[in-house]
Amino acid sequence: MKFGTKVIHAGLQPDPATGAVVTPIYQTSTYQQKAPGDHKGFEYSRTSNPTRKALEDNLAALENGKYGLCFGSGLAAVDAVLKLLKTGDEVISTNDLYGGSYRLFTQGFAQLGIKFTFVPMNNTIAIEEAITPNTKLIWVETPTNPMMNIIDVAAVATITKKRNILLAVDNTFATPFLQNPLGLGADIVMHSVTKYLAGHSDVIMGALICKDEDLAKRLYFIQKSSGAVCGPQDSFLALRGIKTLHLRMQRHCENGKIVATFLRTHPKVDKVYWPGFDDHPNHLIAKKQMRNYGGMISFSLNGNSKEDAFKLMSTFKIFTLAESLGGVESLTCHPATMTHASIPSKEREKLGIVDSLIRLSAGIEDVHDLIEDLDSALKSI
Ligand code: P1T
């Protein structure tokens, strides 16, 4: 099955009870048993729920995996991966990543005796040097949030496979429409379903997908034991959103390209970070492992003034100033004060998250309106 068919059909069947073509919202916490242990595969909705199961099977198919698990948020999915570890274990992570993941690592699991080392993941020597006998997990985000660096997943997988280290890839920015990390050698794919997958800025949800049965069993155990699952109504919304993922992603990519190209030629703009540019430092890796370059763009302003950045963002008429990304509507955010505030300012600056850095999520509106919005807001500063 091709991707555009899978989003609509994979893992989904007409409802066995009624023939309903659309997966119903099974708004139930529990299921009748004929005798203790004699049930139809569902016992209690923390463990499994038919609406959530349909979504989990659909996501597993989209990522060319075997097992899908959904959670109450993207961070709950990250949390479940980290619960595979124990005190004394070590994690090597991309140094440029979503601020909430960084906070969970450094202020959550580090307190429990798990050590985190952050390295620029395009430098395989830096990864090799950071590995110790206790390294159990490598955490990759690509494209990275917000600097749009691209990590060569296959190159990192060559390192992890040799040493029996788990490789998890946060595929939120790319989505399975643009890249499939399991095929590049990753063991676990993580998504903030909140973003492009659900796609309409109306759901908070996370997901994990893997191929290995033992790993899936360990993750299912964590999912049901910790209980950070999503509800049936949100599962329904995510399933509905995913049915148009391929169409939306096409438009996000087209609009992203036009927006990035416009910004690059603008005299008030300093740097534009978008992996589709030929001279993006990781463009060749992006070309190799992604099918297109997505709708996320970051840019900084000449003069690097925070006041100008704030003025610009509050002047926009269509780009809404808000956290999050990947919805049909265009959003903008100021990473240093919003999504990446938990990263110490010195670290942020080293990564390029400067005072005037602005992140855009190009939505699927008419691109002429997006360009006009950018143009008139840039004139105001
Ligand atoms: O918000 P939540 O569903 O818990 O997902 C967390 C998360 C994980 N990974 C990446 C790459 C993300 O971008 C996010 C959430 N990011 C934002 C809310 C944001 O505006 O960047």
Give the residues across from 117 on adjacent strands. Answer: 92
Amino acid 342: pLDDT: 87
If one residue of 73, 94, 142, 172 were mutated to test the ligand 1 pocket, choosing by the most ligand atoms within 8 A of its CB, it would be 172
The candidate with the shortest Cα–Cα distance to 333, out of 295, 360, 373, is 360
Q: Is 346 exposed, middle or buried (0-12, 13-18, 19+ CB in 10 A)?
A: exposed
Residue of minimum CA distance from atom 20 in ligand 1 = 324
Question: Among residues of the chain, what percentage have pLDDT more than 70?
Answer: 100
Give the residues across from 118 on adjacent strands. Answer: 93
Overall size of the chain counted in residues? 381
For residue 251, what pLDDT band results from cuts at 50, 70 and 90?
Answer: very high
If one residue of 103, 192, 359, 360 were mutated to test the ligand 1 pocket, choosing by the most ligand atoms within 8 A of its CB, it would be 192
* pLDDT digit string, tens, across residues 292-343: 999 999 999 999 999 999 999 999 999 999 999 999 999 999 999 999 998 8
3-state SS string for the chain: CCHHHHHHHCCCCCCCCCCCCCCCCCCCCECCCCECCECCCCCECCCCCHHHHHHHHHHHHHCCCCEEEEECCHHHHHHHHHCCCCCCCEEEEECCCCHHHHHHHHHHHHHHCCEEEEECCCCHHHHHHHCCCCEEEEEEECCCCCCCCCCCHHHHHHHHHHHCCEEEEECCCCHHHHCCHHHHCCCEEEEECCCCCCCCCCCCCEEEEECCHHHHHHHHHHHHHHCCCCCHHHHHHHHHHHCCHHHHHHHHHHHHHHHHHHHHCCCCEEEEECCCCCCCCCHHHHHHHCCCCCCEEEEEECCCCHHHHHHHHHHCCCCEECCCCCCCCCEEECCCCCCCCCCCHHHHHHHCCCCCCEEEECCCCCHHHHHHHHHHHHHCC
The candidate with the shortest Cα–Cα distance to 355, out of 302, 280, 296, is 302
Two tokens, residue 332: 């903008």
The candidate with the shortest Cα–Cα distance to 76, out of 225, 223, 181, is 223
CB of 172 within 6 A of ligand 1: the answer is yes
- Mean of the pLDDT values across residues 210-228? 98
Distance from C-alpha of 361 to C-alpha of 172, rounded to nearest angstrom: 13
Amino acid 99: pLDDT: 94
Positive/negative CA dihedral, 336, 337, 343, 344: positive
Q: Is the pLDDT of residue 178 over 90?
A: yes
- Mean of the pLDDT values across residues 354-362? 97
In the chain, what are the domains?
Answer: 3-242 (3.40.640.10), 245-379 (3.90.1150.10)
- For the chain, the average pLDDT equals 97
- Annotated active-site residue 195? The verdict is yes
* pLDDT digit string, tens, across residues 30-62: 999 999 999 999 999 999 999 999 999 999 999
pTM of the complete model beyond 0.75: yes
Question: Among residues of the chain, what percentage have pLDDT more than 90?
Answer: 98
CB of 327 within 6 A of ligand 1: the answer is no
Residue of minimum CA distance from atom 1 in ligand 1 = 74
3-state SS string for 23-62: CCCCCCCECCCCECCECCCCCECCCCCHHHHHHHHHHHHH
Two tokens, residue 203: 């759901």
Give φ, ψ of 100 to 5 degrees: -70, -35
User: Residue 134 is which amino acid?
Assistant: N
CB of 70 within 6 A of ligand 1: the answer is no
Catalytic one of 98, 196, 273, 293: 98
CB of 147 within 6 A of ligand 1: the answer is no
First to last CA, the chain: 50
CB of 101 within 6 A of ligand 1: the answer is yes
Q: Is the pLDDT of residue 226 over 90?
A: yes
* pLDDT digit string, tens, across residues 84-115: 999 999 999 999 999 999 999 999 999 999 99
| Residues contacting residue 123 through CB under 8 Å, at least 6 positions apart | none
